[in-house]
Amino acid sequence: MNSLFRNIFLLGLSKFYFKKITPKTQSTMRKFVAIAFLLVTYTGFSQIKVIETVPIEKIGRIGDNGTNDIYIQKEGNEYTISFKNIDDVDNGNIKFNFKDLAGDFESLYTIISNGFNATPVADIKLDLPNDIVWLHYTKNLQKLVTLQFMSKNKVTTATGISDSMTKADINNLFGKK
């Protein structure tokens, strides 16, 4: 019984409401509602969005773009050091990265440079947010000190060893020519 009264009321209300609206006004309202609907669906369900990108800057690179390629790149305030794993050349690059919060990039360069002059030559272990990196120094018979990055990812436990680098290579890698 309730629904009968409601239907009669709505039918009477709609007849009263539409009697006041002229056909021209009704056509204009339909166009307005259609345009509003299209605009709402256009903005609400668009598939392509523009994302702000940060340019990637190459700081330095050593190697021959082959098996012993090592480079540093900067994206925003995050530095990434990438190298080919000499133990497993076929599986691509090993990377470790860190943010330059308080001059960390220059601090890393200083730590590496000081390691070339240390007596005796000793390894240095660095704890980065996602990786543990060993700076492995060796001295050969000609008294030339070389460095290798040894990296272990904390999450994936992927490990890698870079090719040997001299002090001049490190200067080129860090853009200190």
pLDDT value, residue 177: 73
CATH class of 56-173: alpha beta
Q: What is the mean pLDDT of residues 51-68?
A: 83
Of the pLDDT bands very low, low, confident and very high (cuts 50, 70, 90), residue 46 is low
Nearest-5° angle of CA 91, CA 138, CA 148?
A: 25
Q: Which residues on adjacent β-strands are paired with residue 56?
A: 75
Intervals of CATH 3.30.2450 along the chain: 56-173
pLDDT > 90 fraction of the chain, expressed in percent and rounded: 44
Nearest 5°: CA angle at 5, between 2 and 8?
150
Backbone angles phi and psi of 174, in degrees to 5: -90, 5
pLDDT reported for residue 11: 52
**Side-chain-facing half-sphere of 151: CA atoms under 13 Å:** 25
> How many Cβ atoms sit within 10 Å of the Cβ of residue 108?
20
Integer CA distances (angstroms), 171 to 39, 92, 97, 113, 140, in order: 56, 24, 19, 9, 20
Sign of CA dihedral 150, 156, 157, 159: negative
pLDDT tens digits along 164-174: 999 999 999 99
Least confident of 18-22, 26-30, 44-48, 148-152: 18-22
* Predicted confidence band of residue 16 (pLDDT cuts 50, 70, 90): very low
At residue 117 the predicted structure's pLDDT band, cuts being 50, 70 and 90, is: confident
The residue-averaged pLDDT of 76-91 equals 86
